[in-house]
Amino acid sequence: MPISSPIECILFDLDGTLLDTSYDFAFALNQTCRDFDQKPLRYQTIRKVVSQGGLAMTQLAFPLLEGEALEARRQHFLKIYFENIDNHTRIFPGLELGLQTLAQQNIPWGIVTNKPGWLTEKLLANLTFPSKPLSVISGDTLTVRKPDPAPLLLAAKQCHVAPEKCLYIGDHIRDIEAGNNAGMKTASALFGYLPDLPESHCEKPWPADFHFETPFEISQFFKTLKST
């Protein structure tokens, strides 16, 4: 049955929540390692820091570098990633059903990511969704990024839904903080690119309203929402 407090709009984080981009990131980072005679990293090691962004991944691969040398590696890494941005990236298995439900119920949805626009646009250009996102906010759309609430508030405005009737789903603590700061309901995507957490914090690591262990759980949850 529908939840007591209505949710009329869904907003997603991108990497690690809506899309599994980890394989293309891992390829690009390890190719950068090879190009600079650095030992490649294990996929699972890279996966845990994808949501922290390009700089964090570059620092993971080149921990002894800083300044211009580190920035040169980061730019090299991002160039390779851009050229291979959608080789293996897909909607998380199990989440397509949820997106179909949103389309069938005419529930607006959008994307709010800290990924820069030039990468977001290239990635989304080759993906097809059951319905079009009404808002796509990238990390450089505004002068501030998550956990500042402004990107989420802009997304809600573009979706023509009050913030308190939006649900923001993400796989990083800044996602939950941003959603809470915006007065939205929030949900943690526990299948995303989370770092290692203490056993006692694995089930509900952040102060979110909902916690989803799998993408399929999100799809099932969407079936409880009312159409607008």
The verdict on whether 13 is a catalytic residue reads yes
What pLDDT, on the 0 to 100 scale, is given for residue 196? Answer: 60
What pLDDT, on the 0 to 100 scale, is given for residue 5? Answer: 62
Write out the DSSP string of 118-150: HHHHHHHHT---SS--SEEE-TTSSS--TTSSH
Query: pLDDT tens, 159-200?
Result: 999 999 999 999 999 999 999 999 999 999 999 998 765 454
| Assigned architecture for domain 9-21+90-222 | 3-Layer(aba) Sandwich (3.40)
What pLDDT, on the 0 to 100 scale, is given for residue 126? Answer: 87
**Average pLDDT score, the chain:** 93
Q: Which of 13, 15, 24, 175 is catalytic?
A: 13
The fraction of the chain above a pLDDT of 70, given in percent, is 92
